[in-house]
């Protein structure tokens, strides 16, 4: 084992030099990094919220809004399906979690039931349970009720979807390595390092960004609107440009989910506007709708507000269009980023927020550095006292290489270092030293047994290898479990520990072996100073 193969020496030298190269930018001022850009790596460690400051938000997915949206969708589906089958009905009413409808013709009741029961779909995680319970009632009524299992499944799916949408929106702000995790059933925690303005985060994150294209109901006169006489299947929504309400049909022509492109453009008056393009399915639906309604108005609705309501001059079959609404360039850019990230499935309620200042972050960095230095000095003193200058010095040198490799690896992978991550770093140093202790104790045992120095070194390394691998594999499995199932600080700790496991094995076995091999060749000792 103490045999200095060329590949071992080459690997140790190459790894050490690369480690120094990639970790060095972390210790250079920003001005120096700018000057050496192009000659050496300039990436540095990402610091977490607790180390560099930033914003913390706690949000809750509005389950009531989710149910309301689902019930509204079911109501319109019932209306569309019955009309498609030419089944006459009355009293289509939504109340709480139930949609009820009365079929006018008793002979059509069975056909209506067969049509509406298709709205009930099995849950993804339990095919035996459906999201809607469809039942016949008295007086030729059919009731569609959301099941509790369906509501829970929809809520869980909404949280997961919200997390992905939020992540895309925060990424568009340029925030590095945000921590977005689920808390409880329907809460989401966001930690955005370096983001000092939580209000901007709330403005970008909080918008539902539900974009829909719906026809204007031109059968409603201003007098009917003023009196609140709005027909079933229509609703009054505020118009952004005029501030007055406008009646639109609830039936949706196309949604923002069909968008493939959105970017900031200019209208005919050189004012900021939003250019968009539909996918194939959306383009067809939009083309069919506009071809059937030439001369009529349609509304472009964003989060329940009518952005614009132009008149259809001709069939729009190209799948592209433009949204105008008197936007500023900043507003248009923000809306574009939100549309690109997709719509939230439900409204988010902000429960709490706080800002971690840079000064607090600097204090945490200082505390972490002090802790690491104290841990390192303690290890140095122990190794020198326990194993002497030569073997203690070799272990310290291997430890320094280990530390450099951990920092370099985290820099290359752009991992986020948090305060728990600093704890993981200190633990990694302890694990690395433990590996050296195992090797040295084996070497001591072999020398006490009467083996020559070279034989003691060789057997010590070979017999300690199994124990070292067992201990580090166990640590690696534990770190993987924490990384997969943990969140926030736990993942930061696990990430640092996983990197430390690999670098510790490398430094304890290969680096120590190479250094002791060089020392033995140079001194040829009769007795090992251990």
The CATH number assigned to the domain with range 6-48+359-523 reads 1.20.1640.10
pLDDT band at 204 (very low <50, low <70, confident <90, very high): confident
Over residues 188-215, the mean pLDDT reads 79
The CA distance from 453 to 444, in Å, is 10
Mean pLDDT of 417-440: 83
> Is pLDDT above 90 for 98?
yes
Q: Which of 434, 458, 455, 460 is nearest to 445 (CA)?
A: 460
Residue 360 burial (CB count, 10 A): 15
Q: What is the pTM of this model?
A: 0.57
More confident residue, 246 or 375: 246
User: For position 170, what pLDDT does the model report?
Assistant: 78
* 92-101, 111-120, 447-456, range with the lowest pLDDT: 447-456
Question: Which tops the pLDDT comparison, 170 or 217?
Answer: 217
- 425 or 132, which is more confident: 132
Please check the confidence at residue 179 and state whether its pLDDT lies above 90: no
Q: Domain ranges in the chain?
A: 6-48+359-523, 55-59+154-354, 63-152
Task: Spell out the alpha helix ranges (H) of 269-357.
Answer: 280-292, 329-341
Strand spans (E) along 147-271? 179-183, 187-193, 211-216, 234-238, 245-255, 259-266
Contacts of 252 (CB under 8 A, 6+ apart): 76, 212, 213, 214
Residue holding tokens 């569309």? 80
In angstroms, the CA 265 to CA 331 distance is: 12
210 backbone dihedrals φ, ψ, rounded to 5°: -85, 110
Task: Give the C-alpha separation, 493 to 503, whole Å.
Answer: 16
Measured CA to CA, the distance from residue 481 to residue 371 in angstroms comes to 26
Banded pLDDT at 362 (limits 50, 70, 90): low
pLDDT recorded at residue 360: 54
What gap in Å lies between CA 527 and CA 388, rounded to an integer? 13
Taking only the tens place, the pLDDT of each residue in 225-248 is 888 889 888 999 988 777 789 999
The answer on pLDDT for 484 being more than 90 is no
For 324-342, how does the pLDDT look when each residue is reduced to its tens digit (9 = 90+)? 777 788 778 877 777 777 7
**Would you state the pLDDT for residue 205?**
80
Check whether domain 63-152 has CATH 3.30.1240, yes or no:
yes
Label residue 15 by pLDDT band (50, 70, 90): very high
Residue 440 CA, chain-centre distance (Å), reads 45
403 in Cβ contact with 395 (< 8 Å): no
Q: Which of 232-236, 307-311, 430-434, 490-494 has the lowest mean pLDDT?
A: 490-494
Beta bridge partners of 191: 56, 179
Q: What is the mean pLDDT of residues 201-229?
A: 85
What mean pLDDT is predicted for residues 4-17? 88
Task: Give CATH for domain 55-59+154-354.
Answer: 3.30.1360.200
Whole-number pLDDT of residue 209: 75
Give dist(CA 258, CA 278) in Å, integer.
5
Q: Can you tell me the mean pLDDT for 379-407?
A: 90
Whether pLDDT at 161 is above 90: no
DSSP run (H or E) holding 348: strand 348-356
Mean residue pLDDT of the chain comes to: 84
Among 38-42, 105-109, 158-162, the range with the most confident prediction by mean pLDDT is 105-109
* pLDDT over 70 at 371, yes or no: yes
Contact 361, 51 (CB under 8 A): yes
More confident residue, 269 or 401: 401
Give the per-residue pLDDT at 177. 62
**C-alpha span between 214 and 346 (Å, rounded):** 20
Residue 114's pLDDT is what?
Answer: 92
- Per-residue pLDDT of 410-419, as tens digits, reads 888 877 777 7
| Residue 460 pLDDT > 60 | yes
Q: Does the pLDDT of residue 198 top 90, yes or no? A: no
The pLDDT of residue 173: 67
pLDDT in the model for residue 1? 47
| pLDDT tens figures, 18-60 | 999 998 888 888 777 777 776 778 788 877 766 777 788 888 8
């Amino acid at each position: 084992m103490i045999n200095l193969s060329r590949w071992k020496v080459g690997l140790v030298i190459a790894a050490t030099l690369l480690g120094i190269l990639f970790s060095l930018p972390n210790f250079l001022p920003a001005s120096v990094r700018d000057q050496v850009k192009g000659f050496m790596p300039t990436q540095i460690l990402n610091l977490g919220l607790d180390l560099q400051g930033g914003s913390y938000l706690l949000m809750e997915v509005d389950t009531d809004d989710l149910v309301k949206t689902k019930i509204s969708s079911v109501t319109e589906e019932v209306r569309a399906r019955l009309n498609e089958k030419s089944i006459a009905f009355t009293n289509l009413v939504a109340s709480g979690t139930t949609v009820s409808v009365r079929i006018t013709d008793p002979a059509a009741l069975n056909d209506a039931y067969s049509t509406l029961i298709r709205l009930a779909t099995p849950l993804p995680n339990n095919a035996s349970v459906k999201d809607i319970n469809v039942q016949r009632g008295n007086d030729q009524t059919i009731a569609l009720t959301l099941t509790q299992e369906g509501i829970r499944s929809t809520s869980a799916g909404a949280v997961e979807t919200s997390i992905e949408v939020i992540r895309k929106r925060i990424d568009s702000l340029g925030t590095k390595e945000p921590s977005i995790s689920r808390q409880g059933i329907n809460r989401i925690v966001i930690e955005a390092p370096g983001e000092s303005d939580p209000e901007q985060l709330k403005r970008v994150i909080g918008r539902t960004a539900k974009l829909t294209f719906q026809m204007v109901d031109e059968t409603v006169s201003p007098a009917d609107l003023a009196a609140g006489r709005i027909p079933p299947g229509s609703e009054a929504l505020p118009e952004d440009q005029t501030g007055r309400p406008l009646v639109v049909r609830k039936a949706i022509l196309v949604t923002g989910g069909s968008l493939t492109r959105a970017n900031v453009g200019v209208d005919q008056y050189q004012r900021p506007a939003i250019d968009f393009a539909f996918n194939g399915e959306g383009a067809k639906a939009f083309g069919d709708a506009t071809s059937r309604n030439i001369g009529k108005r349609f509304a472009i609705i964003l989060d329940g507000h009518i952005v614009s309501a132009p008149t259809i001059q001709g069939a729009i079959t190209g799948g592209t269009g433009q949204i105008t609404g008197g936007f500023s360039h900043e507003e248009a850019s923000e809306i574009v980023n939100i549309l690109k990230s997709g719509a939230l499935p439900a409204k988010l309620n902000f429960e709490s927020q706080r800002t971690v200042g840079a000064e607090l972050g600097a204090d945490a960095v200082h505390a972490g550095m002090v802790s690491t230095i104290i841990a390192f000095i303690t290890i140095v003193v122990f190794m020198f006292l326990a194993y002497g200058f030569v073997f203690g010095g070799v272990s310290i040198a291997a430890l320094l290489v280990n530390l450099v490799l951990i920092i370099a690896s985290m820099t290359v992978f752009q991992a986020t270092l948090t305060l728990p991550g600093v704890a993981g770093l200190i633990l990694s140093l302890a694990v690395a030293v433990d590996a050296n202790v195992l090797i040295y104790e084996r070497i001591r045992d072999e020398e006490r047994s009467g083996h020559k120095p070279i034989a003691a070194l060789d057997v010590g390394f070979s017999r300690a290898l199994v124990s070292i691998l067992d201990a580090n594999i166990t640590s690696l499995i534990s770190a993987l479990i924490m990384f997969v199932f943990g969140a926030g600080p736990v993942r930061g700790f696990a990430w640092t520990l996983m990197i430390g496991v690999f670098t510790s094995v490398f430094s304890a076995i290969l680096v120590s072996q190479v250094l002791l091999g060089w020392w033995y060749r140079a001194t040829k000792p009769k007795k090992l100073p251990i």
